[in-house]
């Protein structure tokens, strides 16, 4: 694909730019991590993406890997699709969302003052 002159100049400047470095705390979890659903926890007041993740884990029999969550998110349809209410797919993978909410999902950190600590998974 042919690139515009402006884009070529931008890319040339990027080649000369200092490489970005990670800022210490990583927001990532391994695709090999096994997660298990805590039975009986109500998730209806949690973010939709967390509800979908817990539904995916439940559909796998209560335990699965993060890789399996990613794969289910790619193929799930209907009300369980990895998408917003308007049908637009989420930009982040289940892995990325779980990494973001991990401490809340495992009960290490409270969801909010009103929701408090509510563990929904173990890892």
* CB-based contact 25:99 (threshold 8 Å): no
What is the number of domains present in the chain?
Answer: 1
Residue 6 has pLDDT above 70, yes or no: yes
Chain segment 37-96, per-residue pLDDT in tens: 998 988 999 999 999 999 999 999 999 999 999 999 999 999 999 999 999 999 999 999
Q: Is residue 74 part of a domain?
A: yes
Q: Is residue 33 part of a domain?
A: yes
pTM, two decimal places: 0.77
Instruction: Read off the tokens for 103.
Output: 């401490």
Cα atoms in the Cβ-side hemisphere of radius 13 Å centred on 32: 0
How many Cβ atoms sit within 10 Å of the Cβ of residue 54? Answer: 19
* CB-based contact 123:33 (threshold 8 Å): yes
Residues of the domain holding 70 = 27-122
Q: Is residue 3 part of a domain?
A: no
Of the candidates 61, 32, 41, 44, the residue with the CA atom closest to the CA atom of residue 123: 32
Q: Is residue 113 part of a domain?
A: yes
Chain segment 7-47, per-residue pLDDT in tens: 888 888 888 877 766 544 445 899 999 999 998 988 999 99
pLDDT of residue 2: 67
pLDDT of residue 20: 65
Across the chain, the runs of DSSP E, i.e. the strands, are 34-37, 63-65, 121-122
Q: Is residue 63 part of a domain?
A: yes
Secondary structure (3-state) at 56? helix
């Amino acid at each position: 694909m042919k690139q515009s002159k402006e884009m070529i100049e931008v890319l040339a400047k990027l080649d000369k730019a200092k490489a970005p470095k990670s800022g210490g705390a990583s927001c990532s979890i391994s695709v090999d991590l096994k997660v298990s659903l805590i039975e009986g926890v109500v998730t209806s007041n949690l973010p939709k993406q967390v509800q979908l993740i817990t539904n995916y884990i439940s559909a796998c029999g209560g335990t699965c890997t993060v890789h399996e969550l990613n794969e289910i998110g790619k193929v799930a349809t209907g009300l369980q699709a990895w998408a917003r209410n308007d049908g637009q797919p989420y930009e982040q993978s289940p892995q990325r969302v779980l990494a973001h909410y991990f401490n809340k999902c495992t009960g290490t950190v409270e969801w909010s003052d009103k929701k408090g600590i509510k563990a929904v998974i173990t890892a």
